[in-house]
Structure 1
């Protein structure tokens, strides 16, 4: 494990109610909700690009943050008759360290539509291609946050002829970006990133092609940062695998 302090910056400090003093005490942390996030990648127009969204400033969780598409699980996605291809649900459950119902929901949440994804294949004779997803990371929102998520991160290549839809009420900006460009903008203070997004972008920036991104052999373990006061400023301290 590698310990790393991820500096918050003034906007995040303000959201957490930090004014340079001790981190606020949390007596009863919120229960984290299962969620999935997908790094959609392509390299048909040059070096690897990833699809990102900027959350609107009015969001209760991670306002104005640049993020990958994703969201919480839907109980409707746990239906046993969900058409499935690729690694079996039992295999995903073992990889995630969860029960089979949770594994089914996590995989479905990674690619579902506005309605519960479990209804889409059943009504339109589609099959969920779990083999197109590559599991990348497992992050849990810090206990100091009022809203918390237990999130699995995946990477997936966008199929030829398809384009992600960034039109959502939760985002005011979306598009394809080079990981290194976003990291540079973050370093200049022009972009805000949550710790999981920052680390995942750094890993993507190490490769230049989709095949290399899908083939990265990364250690995976649950990571739950905690708020600490460093000599420089407040930061999220994470134990990275």
Structure 2
């Protein structure tokens, strides 16, 4: 059994104080969400795409692309790769519709936030050159819910290339948080002739960062200062992100390369950090055990 403790980000301090002051209460409902970890090889090691998320996102202030379910994630659309039932079995989810929505949400959010589109006309093709101004207009329309992601794909004769995603882990936000996500993390490589870019008018900061280098300076405000926002400057990694992001960065930093990372058949774990309150302040407690629903699980204790 492995126990990890993480400092509480300043943005969560008020919620933690309220939780302790008023005693144990029923946690707020956790919204289902998906997040995609983009990876690529570089001379400095395997890199991943991190972005700034304002407003105290449950995914972290600096985190991977992602977001919560939208009603359109249940719409019918062309689908290539493992069927929803196979995804459900792999992810340990009983409801095939929920598993399907996690996949659609992951690919939609990735497209909105980065322009990377895991879609093609068939099971062997992938759309190219998604960095044009026309595609940026589409991204803005989908992000603003002026157009549905499903209609965008259907108009262009595209279906989801679900085979390009790899499931990583499952994280549930701490009970005390005012905004809580039930998040499934996936990994993917950027398809040939595509590139990750900020969403026009909405994105603030994003960059490809070598996971090993981020971790080397995790105790310093290096990344937070680079992001340069009021809620990141002067803060170390643990105070601008979540334990989920740090765990995933640690795994990326030790992999031999993108192919090895994506091809690794991992046991999917579930994590549920809990709040620890002491004289020195608040900490997030993540305890990894081998309890059993759907494989190893990890939770706070």
Range class of TM-score, shorter chain: 0.7 to 0.9
Tell me the equivalent position of 1:14.
13
Tell me the equivalent position of 2:272.
224
CA contact (8 A) 1:36 1:106 kept: yes
Distance 1:23 1:183 in 2: 34
CA contact (8 A) 2:12 2:177 kept: no
SS in 1 for 2:249: helix
Structure 2 counterparts to residues 81-100 of structure 1, below 5 A: 81-96=76-91, 97-100=93-96
Return the offset for 1:238. Answer: 1.4
Give the TM-score taking structure 2 as reference length. Answer: 0.70
CA contact (8 A) 2:58 2:181 kept: no
SS in 1 for 2:261: helix
Tell me the equivalent position of 1:25.
23
CA contact (8 A) 2:4 2:287 kept: yes
Whose helix proportion is higher, 1 or 2? 2
SS in 1 for 2:194: coil
Structure 2 counterparts to residues 61-72 of structure 1, below 5 A: 61=57, 65-72=61-68
CA contact (8 A) 1:166 1:175 kept: no
Structure 2 counterparts to residues 168-207 of structure 1, below 5 A: 171-190=203-222, 191=224, 192-207=240-255
Q: Which runs of 5+ in 1 are unaligned?
A: none
Residue of 41, 45, 48 corresponding to 2:46? 48
Give the TM-score taking structure 1 as reference length. Answer: 0.86
Tell me the equivalent position of 2:170.
138
Return the offset for 1:140. Answer: 0.5
Q: Bigger relative contact order, structure 1 or 2, given CA contacts below 8 A and separation 6+?
A: 1
SS in 2 for 1:186: coil
Q: Which has the larger radius of gyration?
A: 2
Matched, 1:75 2:75: no
Return the offset for 1:185. Answer: 3.4
- Aligned length, in residue pairs: 236
CA contact (8 A) 1:55 1:170 kept: no
Distance 1:23 1:48 in 2: 43
Tell me the equivalent position of 1:153.
185
SS in 2 for 1:125: coil
Distance 1:15 1:123, change over 3 A: farther
Return the offset for 1:29. Answer: 1.3
Tell me the equivalent position of 2:137.
none
Q: Which runs of 5+ in 2 are unaligned?
A: 113-141, 225-239, 289-296
